Structure 1
Amino acid sequence: MTSADPLGALAEPAHRVGRGWTAALSLANVAIWVGWYGPLQILLARQAEDFAPGTGMSKETLLAWVTGVGAVVSLVANPFFGALSDRTTARWGRRTPWIVAGSAGGALSLLLLAGAGGLWSMALGWCLVQLTLNAAFAAVTAAVPDRVPRRQRGAVGGWLGAAQILGAVAGTGLATAVGGIAAGYAACAVFAVVGVLPYVLCCRDIGLGAADRPAWSSRAFLRGFWLSPRRYPDFGWAWLTRFLINLSNALVILYLLYYLRDGLHHADPEEGVLVLTAVNSVTLLATVVVGGVWSDRVGRRKPFVLWSGVLMAAATAMLSVWQTWSSAIVAAAVLGVGLGVFMSVDFALMTDVLPSALDRGKDLGVINVANALPQVAAPAVAAPIVTYLGGYRVLYLVAAVAGLAGAVFVRRIRAVD
């Protein structure tokens, strides 16, 4: 099971990848998301309950502090390791060494987190998990523009989007099913290693040729993380599109439990969140691959990103204007349809506007900041709106406007249809 493209690492891929390659890369992606979501959904919250009494903080505050510090590490780690993988000259290729090191380091970090005895060791362990798994994730993501031709990236992006959802579900299931915090972390650690093995062992990764290797300069390395929107306008507009649509989605999710309890007065808001999440996940999985394949077949990206963004904005506005439990279910379903198409096609679009073949990993890392930064920005935007500026109706209208703006901005991209 190898990629058939015989060209160098910096050449534009010309030959389609097979189903085996896509399946192996998707499984590696599942493994990484298991390593993240097992802790995020279940295990860190349980540890926060155990450690909070000795810190003077509530369990909510402790958990927010630990995950917030981890999010900062993630913001830095993804583009940093992407840039390192771009310049890696190992005989196993540019990406494979980082997939191996990142997944192995992630597994060890999860085991360290399993043995945490308090706040500081818990925070250190989670930061190491974010650091190491982001190294693997940056390399897995960069493998797509390295190996997949442009007219196949929508389909591959769709499978990677499905892998993300499946990884979240599998991580939550493992953390819950095995019993106990330590056992949950151990199960996630094992999956994080085993899941990447098919790709590492069976898929060829081409390294840089001698003529392609850039001279090392620490100053140039650090300056490379700034990509001027004036010099690379398509990249800038694509980044802004992803940031605004992800910010809209983060604003929807952040206070969903409180919205159901205080806005809709739902009898069981916790169960309501689970129902809405399940509805959203089902419709997302139903469209994430289909949207990418359809985009590949017609050879266009922007209309899919535009109309999926408009659809999500309309569903978000529904939460503001029509505040009933029935409308919330409809909105969750519609959001899933739009987000599924957006995830696959937006990923393909991003790979089409990368400024340099040499810096694919770093540039995709910069793009991935548009995924993580909204998680940090959303609380700062949402809290004053809910508290002082009109409550949930205004919050969801703001979220809808942000998503609609992101969808419209995709029209400013010139190099992609």
Structure 2
Amino acid sequence: MNDFVRPGIDDRPDYDKALTDEQKESVARLSMHPQDTKTIAPTEGVSDASRQSARMSEANYPASIAGRGEVPDPESAMVDMRDPMVASDGSRPSKFNVFRLGLGFTFSLIITGIVWVSLSSILLPQLVDQIAPDQRAAFIGLINSVGSVVALFANIIFGTLSDLTRSRFGKRTLWICSGGVLCGLCAFGLTFTKSLPVILLLWCGMQLFYNWMNAPFVATMSDRVPDKYRGTVSSFMGGGGVLGQTAGSLVGSLLISNINLGFAIGAIGFAAVGFLVIGIWPKEQSNVDEPRAEMNIKNILKAFIPPVGKGARNFYYALFGRLMMVAGYQMITGYQLYIIKYYTLSDSGLDANGLKLKAASIVATMSVITMVVSLLAAFTAGPISDRLGMRKIPVAGASVLFAIGAAMPWIFHNAIGMYLFAAIAGFGYGVYNAIDQVLNISVLPNPAEAGKDLGVLNMANTLSSVLGSALTSALVMITGNYALVFPACIIVVLIAVFLIMRIKGVK
């Protein structure tokens, strides 16, 4: 009789010996009442990011705590339940280090924005116009489409490879520095060529190596910036992006008569930007001891498998919403020089040189207008979004504002219409840039695969170039002019608004 063991009573383990100290602390926290949690001292960051990846389902979190029956879904990234002062990599950066991270993001986007926009919107179209004016619209569409396909695969592959990288410099640093140098070499090659096939080859090389650098760069936001500061940091990133893009149009318009110098300056900018950013950021810590999946072809190919499951629906709304919004943006800005030359100034009677100089003047004025309104929007939208706790509504509202701006050149067939587009759409796109990346991070299914999943989301940037260029090229070839580009852009952007508003669980 004394040998009888009561199941679950006599044979239960000694929890004081079976549980680790960390597990005991977790149990102790679970036993506390919600009203007592304000007195709990914040725990130190941990190195295992998986311990911080508990997520709420796409159902509304406040509804669940109000007792409506929804339960947390640990597979969803909709609402991050970890300490908002701790980053995904387990670190707890100081406010000064967060400032350094934001400064590095901002400077990078300024430099790359200036280079990309001046080359893609002004200098490269002008080079093609000089070499093969009869093929300009078709070739720009081709170069954007092929380059975007290259960028699409590069973004996902290099985001995944950086996720899997283990080195004493961390997982992102080496990719960012080397990618910038290789991209700069391709840009420098454009100073020596007048051949359309070589231009296409070098442009594809730039797309490849830029995404070699950019995919790990974007993933750093998810890795190292705590949730508490993501809206503000993203706002400064948006401001940097807007400043770079608008300054790029201005710089391109100033260099339109010396495009080889523009390509050389662009090469220097790309080569230097990675080292500049790494120098500004706090040093990335070694991750040689961090566990990871084996780096092989199988795991790289898995990067092309998009997220699945209940929490992935919001991810796809964000993906296709961004795709349509940036496609609308690309429809006008990607053909900005040609639109001004052959739509806005179509009745001017200017010769080729006069047309080039007048178009450059309009581009420069638009750049200044866009720079002012976009910076105002970008630097205020993020902090306001943080304070209100809203992401989806501001992004959708900004998209509507961009659509209104796109209607201005359609209504006013002159330079005034383009200036109104610069002011209204520029403000809308400034707000969009400031907040959209935070919205994207909020719908990531798995923070441990931020590089891969952000690569899939940033796929929208590359596919949008294909879509935007294809739509504009098709409309121009069918109609022979640029008049229908604007209403088509409005429709595309309003589709983006509809998709963004379908996201659940985010205000």
Shift of 1:287: 0.6
Q: Which moved more, 1:309-318 or 1:342-351?
A: 309-318
Whether 1:200 aligns to 2:278 is: yes
Given that 1:33 and 1:171 are in contact with CA atoms closer than 8 Å, whether structure 2 keeps it comes out as: no
Distance in 1 of aligned mates of 2:433 and 2:291: 32
Distance in 1 of aligned mates of 2:275 and 2:235: 21
Paired position in structure 1 for 2:61 = none
Opposite residue 448 of structure 2, the aligned amino acid is L
Whether 1:330 aligns to 2:392 is: no
Shift of 1:145: 1.0
Shift of 1:98: 0.4
Matches within 5 A, 1:161-200: 161-168=238-245, 169=247, 173=251, 183-200=261-278
Q: Which moved more, 1:332-341 or 1:38-47?
A: 38-47
Paired position in structure 2 for 1:237 = 317
Shift of 1:173: 2.9
Shift of 1:141: 1.1
- Indicate how the Cα distance of structure 1 residues 237 and 112 shifts in structure 2: closer, same or farther if over 3 A, else same: same
Distance in 1 of aligned mates of 2:472 and 2:317: 24
Paired position in structure 2 for 1:219 = 298
Q: Which moved more, 1:375-384 or 1:264-273?
A: 264-273
Distance in 1 of aligned mates of 2:321 and 2:130: 40
Q: Which moved more, 1:376-385 or 1:263-272?
A: 263-272
Given that 2:109 and 2:241 are in contact with CA atoms closer than 8 Å, whether structure 1 keeps it comes out as: yes
Given that 2:109 and 2:237 are in contact with CA atoms closer than 8 Å, whether structure 1 keeps it comes out as: yes
Paired position in structure 2 for 1:101 = 178
SS at match of 2:447: coil
Q: Which moved more, 1:146-155 or 1:182-191?
A: 182-191
Shift of 1:110: 2.7
Distance in 2 of aligned mates of 1:170 and 1:397: 26
SS at match of 1:195: helix
Given that 1:178 and 1:187 are in contact with CA atoms closer than 8 Å, whether structure 2 keeps it comes out as: no
Paired position in structure 1 for 2:195 = 118
Q: Which moved more, 1:78-87 or 1:38-47?
A: 38-47
Distance in 1 of aligned mates of 2:477 and 2:130: 30
Paired position in structure 2 for 1:142 = 219
Distance in 1 of aligned mates of 2:276 and 2:458: 25
SS at match of 2:213: helix
Shift of 1:158: 2.2
Shift of 1:375: 1.9
Given that 1:276 and 1:329 are in contact with CA atoms closer than 8 Å, whether structure 2 keeps it comes out as: yes
Shift of 1:303: 1.6
Shift of 1:62: 5.0
Matches within 5 A, 1:18-417: 18-45=98-125, 47-48=127-128, 52=132, 58=135, 64-116=141-193, 118-168=195-245, 169=247, 173=251, 183-202=261-280, 203-208=282-287, 210=289, 212-228=291-307, 231=310, 232-253=312-333, 257-258=338-339, 261-262=342-343, 267=348, 270=359, 271-320=361-410, 326-385=416-475, 395-417=485-507
Given that 1:34 and 1:192 are in contact with CA atoms closer than 8 Å, whether structure 2 keeps it comes out as: no
Q: Which structure shows the bigger proportion of residues in helix conformation?
A: 1
Shift of 1:404: 2.1
Distance in 1 of aligned mates of 2:478 and 2:132: 30
User: Gaps spanning 5+ residues in structure 2: where?
Assistant: 1-43, 53-85, 349-354
Shift of 1:281: 3.1
Given that 1:32 and 1:136 are in contact with CA atoms closer than 8 Å, whether structure 2 keeps it comes out as: no
Given that 1:29 and 1:137 are in contact with CA atoms closer than 8 Å, whether structure 2 keeps it comes out as: no
- Indicate how the Cα distance of structure 1 residues 182 and 313 shifts in structure 2: closer, same or farther if over 3 A, else same: closer
Distance in 2 of aligned mates of 1:258 and 1:110: 25
Shift of 1:25: 2.7
Shift of 1:350: 0.5
Distance in 2 of aligned mates of 1:322 and 1:59: 25
Distance in 1 of aligned mates of 2:474 and 2:115: 33
Distance in 2 of aligned mates of 1:395 and 1:171: 20
- TM-score with structure 1 length normalisation? 0.84
- Indicate how the Cα distance of structure 1 residues 274 and 145 shifts in structure 2: closer, same or farther if over 3 A, else same: same
Distance in 2 of aligned mates of 1:72 and 1:251: 17
Distance in 2 of aligned mates of 1:242 and 1:357: 20
Identity of aligned residues (%): 26
SS at match of 2:425: helix
Paired position in structure 1 for 2:78 = none
- Indicate how the Cα distance of structure 1 residues 191 and 121 shifts in structure 2: closer, same or farther if over 3 A, else same: same
- Indicate how the Cα distance of structure 1 residues 309 and 171 shifts in structure 2: closer, same or farther if over 3 A, else same: closer
- Indicate how the Cα distance of structure 1 residues 286 and 260 shifts in structure 2: closer, same or farther if over 3 A, else same: farther
Paired position in structure 1 for 2:31 = none
SS at match of 2:237: helix
Distance in 2 of aligned mates of 1:394 and 1:180: 32
Shift of 1:333: 1.2
- Indicate how the Cα distance of structure 1 residues 234 and 194 shifts in structure 2: closer, same or farther if over 3 A, else same: same
- TM-score with structure 2 length normalisation? 0.70
Opposite residue 291 of structure 2, the aligned amino acid is D
Given that 1:353 and 1:415 are in contact with CA atoms closer than 8 Å, whether structure 2 keeps it comes out as: no
Given that 2:374 and 2:426 are in contact with CA atoms closer than 8 Å, whether structure 1 keeps it comes out as: yes
Shift of 1:60: 5.7
- Indicate how the Cα distance of structure 1 residues 306 and 171 shifts in structure 2: closer, same or farther if over 3 A, else same: closer
Distance in 1 of aligned mates of 2:237 and 2:227: 15
- Indicate how the Cα distance of structure 1 residues 99 and 320 shifts in structure 2: closer, same or farther if over 3 A, else same: same
- Indicate how the Cα distance of structure 1 residues 322 and 164 shifts in structure 2: closer, same or farther if over 3 A, else same: same
Shift of 1:339: 0.9
